[in-house]
């Protein structure tokens, strides 16, 4: 039998995790590693590898084909454009200390779509094929221009058989027209809730009246709409993190069970924030502690909450098709299935690219609604949009589950060819997948119950995470 190449990584308990290119994995020992490296496998080794589909007898036999199939299914295939992030205005009625979207003052002029830009956006949408579209309204605060949101929504409802709209709003000031816009069943709310009231106020609202208005609107939205209509994200300052249990209590109180814990990112005005030394190591520690806190809390309450990105990485380790999140998939080609259109009608490959361009760091725009998407620029970015041939990723046990982030590399290092292990993206994902596999192999009931809930399966047992002695 020929064994598919195995990549390995020592786990925190001293055992060794082995993974193949198609995402098959098992845990074993240093002794097995020695036998594997010396091509000195025992009959028990061979039988374990055979049963686990880690090898094949001849090309195109059933196990060879099954491995090829699994490898192919793990690749994120470019699909048609069906997700468009729109920034109808850059103006905002809050001044958050780490504003991640490069805002403009509420009364500023020249930061909203002009009539020509709106017409260009609608014309771009009109040229999209397919039965469905998802529109995400970003800002600034998009509800400052409900009229533009209405124009886009009306157009999409007429053009596409299925359409969905997400309004990323700070929920600060909602008039009747804004509430009426949000009331529609095809329209969802995404907001920011930075943990407890005190943290939210110090990071975002900066005053009790403004904080009161936010919580009043959040409570009104929660009582008005069904569960699942509202999602929220906390941005966490690693130098001053909120108490996790209080944060989770607060989210649960508002019926939100999925929390996407995000560090202050490195784009937009946020890059000017000082967060001290070893931010990555401190973030990784904080995130791992959050997962442990979630597992213990889920067990204590019997009500399951998740950290969205951790669940996404978990699914990527165990499933073929966990490609829905644009921050982690491989390849992650730009301007293929989603694109951003800014307040001036310019296209960007991602929202982070828009922020970087806005602060003058680099121009990552890829055309505008008048001239269309500049495919030559997109091709340059796409040259780094996969990890298949990266000399470091090639040897990494997590390659099949991981991805790339060209825009983050440009933002932090001004280039895309920094050795992977020296990048924030790699340091963060090594730690994330270490935690994923640590939790996958935990034998305690609290971890197993959370795992089953996060993966949407009935239960979790030893057979689901194979071990070879």
Q: How far is the CB of 309 from ligand SF4 (least distance, A)?
A: 14
Q: How far is the CB of 279 from ligand SF4 (least distance, A)?
A: 18
Output 88 or 331, the one with its CB closest to ligand SF4. Answer: 331
Output 97 or 427, the one with its CB closest to ligand SF4. Answer: 427
Round to whole Å and give the CA distance between 6 and 189: 44
What is the contact surface with ligand SF4 in residues (CB under 6 A)?
A: 387, 392-393, 396, 398-399, 402, 420, 425-426, 429-430
**Is beta strand 258-259 parallel, antiparallel or unpaired with respect to 306-307?**
parallel
Q: How far is the CB of 438 from ligand SF4 (least distance, A)?
A: 15
Output 373 or 430, the one with its CB closest to ligand SF4. Answer: 430
**Is beta strand 187-192 parallel, antiparallel or unpaired with respect to 372-373?**
unpaired
Closest CA to 332 of 233, 451, 429, 438: 429
Q: How far is the CB of 431 from ligand SF4 (least distance, A)?
A: 9
Angle between helix axes 115-126 and 146-159 (nearest 10 degrees) is 20
**Is beta strand 25-28 parallel, antiparallel or unpaired with respect to 16-19?**
antiparallel
Q: Please say whether the beta carbons of 166 and 143 come within 8 A.
A: no
Round to whole Å and give the CA distance between 135 and 156: 9
Residue 49 pairs with which residues in a beta bridge? none
Output 306 or 434, the one with its CB closest to ligand SF4. Answer: 434
The Cα-based distances of 425 to 243, 387, 392, 404, 413 in angstroms read: 25, 12, 13, 7, 12
Round to whole Å and give the CA distance between 9 and 16: 6
Round to whole Å and give the CA distance between 292 and 90: 38
Q: How far is the CB of 417 from ligand SF4 (least distance, A)?
A: 13
Output 48 or 425, the one with its CB closest to ligand SF4. Answer: 425
Q: How far is the CB of 425 from ligand SF4 (least distance, A)?
A: 6
Which residue has tokens 């009109």?
126
Alpha carbon 420 to chain centroid, angstroms: 19
Output 178 or 393, the one with its CB closest to ligand SF4. Answer: 393
Give backbone dihedrals phi and psi of 163, rounded to 5 degrees, phi first: -140, 150
Q: How far is the CB of 7 from ligand SF4 (least distance, A)?
A: 9
Q: How far is the CB of 389 from ligand SF4 (least distance, A)?
A: 11
Output 89 or 382, the one with its CB closest to ligand SF4. Answer: 382
Q: Please say whether the beta carbons of 240 and 213 come within 8 A.
A: no
Output 410 or 430, the one with its CB closest to ligand SF4. Answer: 430
């Amino acid at each position: 039998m020929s064994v598919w190449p195995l990549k390995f990584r020592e786990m925190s308990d001293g055992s060794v995790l082995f993974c193949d290119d198609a995402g098959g994995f098992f845990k074993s020992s240093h002794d097995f590693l020695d036998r594997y490296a010396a091509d000195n496998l025992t009959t028990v080794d061979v039988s374990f590898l055979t049963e686990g589909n880690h090898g094949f007898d001849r090309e195109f036999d059933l196990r060879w084909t099954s491995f090829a199939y699994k490898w192919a299914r793990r690749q994120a295939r470019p699909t048609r454009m069906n997700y468009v992030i729109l920034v109808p205005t850059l103006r905002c009625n809050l001044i958050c200390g780490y504003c991640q979207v490069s805002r403009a003052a509420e009364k500023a002029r020249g930061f909203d779509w002009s009539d020509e830009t709106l017409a260009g956006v609608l014309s771009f949408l009109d040229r999209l094929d397919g039965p469905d579209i998802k529109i995400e309204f970003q800002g600034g605060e998009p509800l400052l221009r409900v009229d533009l949101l209405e124009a886009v929504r009306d157009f999409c409802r007429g053009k596409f058989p299925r359409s969905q709209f997400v309004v990323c709003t700070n929920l600060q000031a909602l008039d009747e027209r804004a509430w009426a816009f949000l009331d529609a069943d095809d329209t969802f709310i995404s907001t920011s809730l930075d943990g407890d009231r005190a943290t939210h106020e110090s990071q975002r609202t900066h005053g009790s009246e403004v904080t009161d208005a936010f919580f009043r609107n959040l409570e009104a939205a929660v009582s008005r709409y069904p569960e699942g209509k509202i999602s929220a994200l906390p941005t966490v300052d690693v130098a001053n993190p909120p108490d996790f249990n209080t944060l989770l209590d607060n989210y649960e109180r508002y019926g939100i069970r999925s929390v996407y814990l995000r560090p202050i990112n490195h784009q937009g005005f946020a890059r000017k924030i000082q967060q001290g030394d070893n931010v990555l190591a401190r973030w990784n520690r904080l995130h791992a502690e959050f997962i442990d806190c979630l597992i213990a809390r889920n067990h204590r309450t019997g009500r399951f909450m998740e950290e969205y990105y951790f669940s996404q990485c978990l699914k990527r380790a165990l499933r073929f098709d966990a490609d829905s999140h644009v921050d982690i998939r491989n390849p992650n080609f730009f301007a293929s299935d989603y694109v951003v259109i800014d307040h001036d009608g310019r296209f960007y490959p991602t929202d982070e690219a828009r922020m970087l361009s806005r602060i003058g760091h680099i121009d990552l725009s890829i055309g505008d609604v008048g001239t269309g998407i500049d495919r030559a620029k997109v091709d340059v970015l796409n040259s780094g949009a996969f990890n298949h041939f990266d000399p470091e990723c090639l040897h990494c046990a997590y390659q099949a589950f991981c991805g790339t982030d060209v825009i983050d590399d440009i933002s932090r290092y001004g280039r895309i060819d920094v050795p992977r292990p020296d990048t924030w993206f790699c340091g963060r994902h090594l730690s994330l997948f270490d935690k994923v596999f640590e939790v996958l192999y935990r034998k305690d009931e609290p971890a197993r119950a959370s795992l089953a809930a996060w993966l949407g399966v009935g239960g979790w047992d030893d057979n689901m995470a194979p071990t070879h002695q």
